[in-house]
Structure 1
Amino acid sequence: MLTHQFEVIPAIDVLEGRAVRLAQGRREAVTIEGGDPVDLARRFASEGATRLHLVDLDGAFSGTPTLDLVARVAQAGGLPLQVGGGYRSAASIEAALDAGADRVMVGTAALSPSFLEEAATRFGEALVVAIDVRDGSVAVDGWTRASEITAAELARRCAQAGVARLLVTSASRDGSLAGPDLGLLAEVLPCGVPVLAAGGIASVADLVAVRAAGCEGAVAGSALLRGRFTLAEAREATAGM
């Protein structure tokens, strides 16, 4: 039986200044318009969120993070904030932390063993490595390019480097409400690093399955925006497992 508190983290994905959901991370495939990201942060905070998950899609595609977005969402939500999207250097991670984030997610840069070791040592709990997987390979550069490394291999590298936490996303299921990729999670969890799951979560039953698999939390986007469940229902369903 798992005893830790399972955390359901609402996602705020921002493209050109507005909150959106994309199908499979494709820039041209906006499936939900979520309005002003600051307003959405306040909404999730009022509904009982314990943390927010902010993805700067413009930063992910360009490689240059939007730091004022981090500051505005951090201030509006008043909650711990994990951010991602174009963070490919130690300096950019530091800048996001200075802007109000408490965790920064890196994806593309984590494929560099030297960067991975340096960042894990320097940032500790503030570093989250995002393992974004499409067709069996880790996707990089805003999910626009496939690398030659598998999720399991990158997870092993992260464990060896001392990374504190992984965010594992099924890119093909992201925004789809098709259910989590439990097979992908099963490949990564044996590395022993705490895992947050993302991609495809549509119901509290999906959250229960992800928790039972051994994840410490999950990121939910489309399901919350479409009213598939509330944060209160998510907490109730996953408590005491």
Structure 2
Amino acid sequence: MEVIPAVDIMGGQVVRLVKGDPANKVVYGSDPSETAKKWEAARADMLHVVDLDAAFGTGNNKEAVAKLVSSVKVPVQVAGGVRTADAAKDALEKAARVVIGTMAYSDPEAVRKLAKKYPGRIVVSIDQSGGKVMVSGWKESAGVSVKDAIVQFLGMGIENFLLTSIERDGMLAGPDVETLAQAAGVDGRVRVIASGGISSVADAVRVKSAGCAAVILGKAMYDGKVSIERVKAVA
């Protein structure tokens, strides 16, 4: 199981949000690139970099993201506000993978074409609440269940899915193991990247046991409750 620290960027700063609420944030640093280098030195398998301003439609941190990607050797997957095929292509000029959320549900044909052109480099985001997929910065329902979404995109050649349990994000309340296991069990080709609620090494073990291919570390890592090294030891 891969261990992937998150670097969430808002207003050029490294932050963590509680349940995705931009009004409820904690600032952890003023230099995303330096934060990325820190996690790279801790032997992260990949970095998960989120442009929160782009995700909320309040601006973007393109320069900060580009600087971060060029400052590390570890692979980077970028996310946040990638709502056109051109935006995805631009991201993939430097990043190893791009995470697509809202666009995947509003324009699935574009995602199909991207998956064909960039095999293995497209990640579909499944932000779920109560088993239903949420889009547009977690404000709107996509009208589809987690399982149905995975089946749909798997048929398009997508195998990487970033599964986030909204109620647990930034809450240190433990992962939604049941939903993660159900998602991972849909098909042997599915690679679930677990996000939300990881608060301890024991949580990481539970995520691995659920069949996930990777785990994203966020608030617990920034607060010193878990470390990349300790999670990698059990991953």
TM normalised by structure 2 equals 0.93
Name the residue aligned to 2:95: 101
Deviations 1:23-63 (A, max 9, x none): 01111111353332111111111212121110000011118
After TM superposition, the structure 1 stretch with the greater mean CA deviation from structure 2, 45-54 or 16-25, is 45-54
Name the residue aligned to 2:164: 169
Structure with higher strand content: 2
Cα pair 2:195 2:216 within 8 Å, conserved: yes
Identity over aligned pairs, percent: 36
Which ranges of structure 2 fall in alignment gaps of 5 or more residues? none
> What is the correspondence of 1:1-241 to structure 2 with a 5 Å cutoff?
6-62=1-57, 66-98=61-93, 100-111=94-105, 112-192=107-187, 193-238=190-235
Partners of 1:221 and 1:60 in 2: CA distance: 17
Cα pair 2:12 2:61 within 8 Å, conserved: no
SS at match of 2:162: strand
Superposed displacement of residue 65, structure 1 = 5.2
Letter in 2 for 1:195: V
Cα pair 2:46 2:74 within 8 Å, conserved: yes
TM normalised by structure 1 equals 0.91
Partners of 2:48 and 2:41 in 1: CA distance: 15
Letter in 1 for 2:153: C
Paired residues, what number? 232
Which ranges of structure 1 fall in alignment gaps of 5 or more residues? 1-5
Superposed displacement of residue 71, structure 1 = 1.3
Letter in 1 for 2:102: T
Q: How large is the RMSD of aligned CA atoms in angstroms?
A: 1.5
